[in-house]
Amino acid sequence: MQFNAKFAALISTLAVMSASVVGSPAPVASVDGATNADDSSYIVSNEAMLHWISTTDAELTFVGEPVNPLSPRAAQNTIVTFCNKRTQNICGGSCSVYNGGPTCLAARGTSCLSATANVGFCDHDNCSGSCNSLDSCGTKLANGFCFTPGTNSIVVGSN
């Protein structure tokens, strides 16, 4: 009997340990309080972007092709969301959502952005001046957004 009780305790301990090993990594808080999973590129998935679009209380304006995950070209397009306000680690306010291929987006007044592929953000109009890549975001915000003050245009490349 004593062997069965110890064996059962060992099995339950192993089950708990294996469940904690298999679980997802906990989000890591950055210096400014934003959270992220250990993703250095900070490019969001189509699913994460669509979830944010469907649940945000930000004012959204859609630009480019309609956002439809079932369209034949959906996987080839890049979705970029750029907004004019940052409150602590949340990006919001008035946001534009672009869905499409390579282009230069006018984005005057942008404070933060998120994208499903690497994009560039520039401090001058017409995708000129000093430009940085989203995958080297310096200040990461919640929900895959990057703090990008002074952005006036966004370079969308081919996916």
Query: Are the C-beta atoms of 112 and 128 separated by less than 8 Å?
Result: no
For residues 134 and 140, give the distance between their C-alpha atoms in angstroms, rounded to a whole number. 10
| pLDDT one-digit tens code per residue, 139-150 | 999 999 999 999
Q: How distant, in Å, are the alpha carbons of 52, 53, 79, 92, 99 from that of 46?
A: 10, 10, 8, 19, 11
- Tell me how far CA of residue 75 lies from CA of 102, 155, 156, in angstroms: 14, 18, 15
Residue 50 three-state SS: helix
For residue 156 the two structure tokens come to: 């969308």
Angle of CA points 111, 139, 53, to nearest 5°? 55
- Identify the weakest region by mean pLDDT among 72-76, 101-105, 117-121: 72-76
Please check the confidence at residue 73 and state whether its pLDDT lies above 80: no
pLDDT reported for residue 72: 73
Band of pLDDT at residue 41, cut at 50, 70 and 90:
low
Beta 59-64 vs 146-156: how paired, if at all?
unpaired
